[in-house]
A and B are shown apart, each in its own frame.
Chain A
Amino acid sequence: MSDPKSTEKAKPRRRRRPVRPRFQMRVSTKYAPRKIVEGKSLSCTSETSLTPQQLLELYRYLKLTRLVEERLVNLYRQTKVVGGVFRSLGQEATAVGSAYALQSEDFVTPLIRDLGAVLVKGIQPRDIFAQYMAKAWGPSGGKDLNIHFGDMQKGFIGPISHLGDMIPVMTGLLLAARMQKKKFVAVAYIGDGGMSTGAFHEGLNFAAVQRLPLVVIAEYNHYAYSTPTSLQTAVHDLAEKASGYGIPAHIVDGNDVIACYEVTRQAAEYARRGGGAVLIESKTYRRKGHAEHDDQRYVAAGEIEWWEQNNDPLDRFERYLFEHRVAKKKQLEEIVADVTRLIDEDCAWAESSPLPDAEVAAYNVFDNNVVPPAFRPKVLES
């Protein structure tokens, strides 16, 4: 006779809830901004696992991000961009350094000011140009703006304008991954303004409860449109908010691309190993207005100039590359020339795209195999 136990149908076991140690606030400041020493220019963290080749690739992405945005501003001034242009000038290191620390299977959902993360994830500048110019060949075919699209194969999920909404969406992505026995980390970007939304709280709280590998990168860039961080939140450091979710936090110098890389790599590893959600606060500065139209009248005199002269992420990284003899000036110039060539080509491609056919507006509200497109009737149906 066979063992009755072996014939019994195996039922899925309920997950046992782990007994958690009493929470203590954990904010790591290992990569936080250092005090500025008079007469000494800022560089980058010298301790790094990045190879010289990787460092040069990082430089390429930083430069690509800045130059794509500069080209977008040119296109905007030529009235070729249909909507607004949103710059990440002065805070490119956060998006580039953090996204570069991820594996190819990991997902990101950047904000509008994280173009660098989009490019690191493998989206081509041509897609960005076509999107801004509302062209038919853009990934959304003219249906939506700028980086509001996604590419599931590349692990990029575009944001929507409603800040905070992507945090619960990424939580759902990770819940699905757990059911599908897939292992990846999701990174969601948010700002000092977006953290005030209910969706941010609901999403991060749920991810923390479920111990999902979600890394939230909170960019303290001093302004949400015109509102300073002091009118957004009563905490001094955004990292303090992590304790409300029972998760650890890091503070990183967001203009130090190597620090951004290292801190994200560590946070992602912690999450990947099953530690759960992590918050990274990146201290940075938005040197441009909310969008190109914004005259920044709300910014104190001299503030932008100070950041431009003393704490520009590209200047700092170039200084690092020279100081550590990773690259000579000529090598960097070659990278810039290469990036410029790519931008010229991609921009020309996007400009050559037609605008979408008007009738395209009616398609794809629902799956059109099930519900027909929403054409505007030329005459009333009878």
Chain B
Amino acid sequence: MSTAVKKEHKSARPERGGQATMVEAIRQGIWEEMERDPTVFVIGEDVGAYGGAFKVTDGLIDQFGSERVIDTPISEGAIVGAACGAALMGMKPVAEFQFIDFISAGFDLLTNYAAKCRYRWGAGISAVFRGPCGSGVRAGPFHSLNAESFFLNTAGLKIVEPSTAYDAKGLIKAAIRDPDPVLFFEHKKLYRLPRLREELPADDYIVEIGKARVAREGRDLTIFTFGAMMLTALDAAEELEKEGLDVEVLDLRTLAPLDRASILSSVRKTNKAIVLHEASRTGGIGGEIAAIIAEEAFEWLDAPVLRIGSLDTPVPYSPPLEDYYLPQIKDVIDAARKLAAY
């Protein structure tokens, strides 16, 4: 018989707030929402007894039972479809993709069903589709994807990607309470990064979807980025400070709908912009942000908008290959120096 429901080890309820890494923050967020609202449930592959590939859902099954923590077959189409069906009934599904790369197997139902239901007949799909994204962890072409630009061109899907533990908890809670489908991308490199461990408030809080955050204020140029590239941008900004360049770093946090007001107000202040992301450069979100700036803040620009993205290749496995593929701190510094010269 199935052994997946027999479990010796039981994981404890997470702290409410306190010191937390990003993975703990997300787990706290989902746990608290499931306690607060009986319509919230979790569905995905290995999310039950195993607690998910990255342990985001660890212990939920012990607390909430297998009716609300549903292990599925390897069927992303079924996961997305079932989440949509449950949402039609007024439930709040939190559906997990084991790796965001597998979102492609649920693409049809996400883009055709989840995204269009409200528009077509007023039935909003209030559901969260979450999972680990991102490269830089030597995971190769099928466990390293950044999927945001596949979905940017689909009206009806919100896209969120946090870069701090505080934001991760506040945004997952906001996503669960959102009336529309939210794709929630969690950069796996950040999950357990000690650098991101921080003190979370004990009280219930959310971080509003659709709002960017100025992570570092500056006067000379702005780096627009999100996810793990936030760290690259902040490290580059430190270096550049030594050269006398005062760099602003804007954490987009929500990729759809974009916070156009924050993007424009920052570029109108610094007059120079770099858009930095981890996905391949061609067709990436950087092009969209560059176009917004060009269309709406052209008169404020003192230099061309520069895009930094990964190579236009699949994500390679071997460390030298992946490092060559990914934007590095040096690439950001070079781009900033180029802009400073204008």
A interface residues (Cβ-Cβ under 8 A, vs B): 11-15, 17, 19, 139-140, 143-144, 148-150, 152, 157-158, 160-162, 165-180, 198-199, 202-203, 205-206, 209-210, 364-367, 369-371, 374, 380-382
Q: Is residue B84 contacting chain A, with contact meaning CB distance below 8 A?
A: yes
Cα A172 to Cα B92 with chains together (Å): 11
Q: Mark B36-77, 1 if CB is under 8 A from A, else 0.
A: 000101010000000000000000011111111010110111
B155 touching A365 by the CB < 8 A rule? yes
Instruction: Knowing A17-B2, A144-B120 are in contact, say whether A169-B91 is a contact too (CB < 8 A).
Output: no
Q: Is residue B81 contacting chain A, with contact meaning CB distance below 8 A?
A: yes
A177 touching B81 by the CB < 8 A rule? no
Q: Is residue B336 contacting chain A, with contact meaning CB distance below 8 A?
A: no
Nearest A residue to B82, CB-CB: A172
Residue with the greatest number of chain A CB neighbours at <10 A, chosen from B67, B85, B119, B210: B85
Shortest distance between the CB of B75 and any CB in chain A (Å): 4
Nearest B residue to A198, CB-CB: B77
B112 touching A206 by the CB < 8 A rule? no
Q: Mark B100-130, 1 if CB is under 8 A from A, else 0.
A: 0000000011001100101111111000000
Residues of B within 8 A of A162 (CB): 108, 112-113
Nearest A residue to B115, CB-CB: A365
Nearest A residue to B81, CB-CB: A168
- Determine which of A144, A148, A166, A206 lies in contact with B75 in the assembled complex, contact meaning CB atoms within 8 Å: A206
Q: Is residue B296 contacting chain A, with contact meaning CB distance below 8 A?
A: yes
B119 touching A364 by the CB < 8 A rule? yes
A199 touching B118 by the CB < 8 A rule? no
A–B complex contacts, Cβ < 8 Å, 25 sampled:
A11-B63, A15-B67, A17-B1, A140-B121, A144-B121, A149-B120, A150-B88, A165-B81, A165-B108, A168-B109, A169-B88, A169-B113, A172-B93, A175-B43, A176-B86, A180-B90, A198-B77, A202-B73, A206-B72, A364-B118, A366-B124, A367-B118, A367-B124, A367-B180, A369-B179
Residues of B in contact with A, size category: 35 or more
Shortest distance between the CB of A151 and any CB in chain B (Å): 9
A199 touching B81 by the CB < 8 A rule? yes
Residues of A within 8 A of B81 (CB): 165-169, 171-172, 199, 202-203
Cα A367 to Cα B156 with chains together (Å): 10
Residues of A within 8 A of B61 (CB): 14
Shortest distance between the CB of B8 and any CB in chain A (Å): 14
Instruction: Knowing A11-B63, A209-B73, A365-B156 are in contact, say whether A175-B112 is a contact too (CB < 8 A).
Output: no
Instruction: Knowing A150-B121, A199-B81, A364-B122 are in contact, say whether A172-B180 is a contact too (CB < 8 A).
Output: no
Q: Is residue B193 contacting chain A, with contact meaning CB distance below 8 A?
A: no
Shortest distance between the CB of A47 and any CB in chain B (Å): 35
Cα A162 to Cα B39 with chains together (Å): 28
Residues of B within 8 A of A203 (CB): 77-78, 81-82
Residues of B within 8 A of A167 (CB): 81
Instruction: Knowing A171-B82, A209-B73, A366-B180 are in contact, say whether A160-B67 is a contact too (CB < 8 A).
Output: no
B82 touching A175 by the CB < 8 A rule? yes
- Determine which of A144, A169, A382 lies in contact with B82 in the assembled complex, contact meaning CB atoms within 8 Å: A169
Cα A191 to Cα B152 with chains together (Å): 33
A370 touching B179 by the CB < 8 A rule? yes
Q: Is residue B140 contacting chain A, with contact meaning CB distance below 8 A?
A: no
Instruction: Knowing A169-B113, A205-B73, A371-B210 are in contact, say whether A14-B84 is a contact too (CB < 8 A).
Output: no
Residues of A within 8 A of B120 (CB): 140, 143-144, 148-149
Residues of B within 8 A of A198 (CB): 77
B66 touching A15 by the CB < 8 A rule? yes
Residue with the greatest number of chain B CB neighbours at <10 A, chosen from A162, A198, A365: A365
Pairs A-B, 7 closest by C-beta atoms? A172-B85, A168-B81, A172-B82, A12-B65, A176-B89, A202-B75, A176-B86
Residues of A within 8 A of B75 (CB): 168, 202, 205-206
Residues of B within 8 A of A13 (CB): 65
Q: Is residue B80 contacting chain A, with contact meaning CB distance below 8 A?
A: yes
Shortest distance between the CB of A158 and any CB in chain B (Å): 7
Tell me which residues from 1 to 55 in chain B have a Cβ below 8 Å from any Cβ of chain A.
1-2, 5, 39, 41, 43
Cα A261 to Cα B62 with chains together (Å): 44
Instruction: Knowing A12-B64, A165-B81, A199-B109 are in contact, say whether A382-B88 is a contact too (CB < 8 A).
Output: no
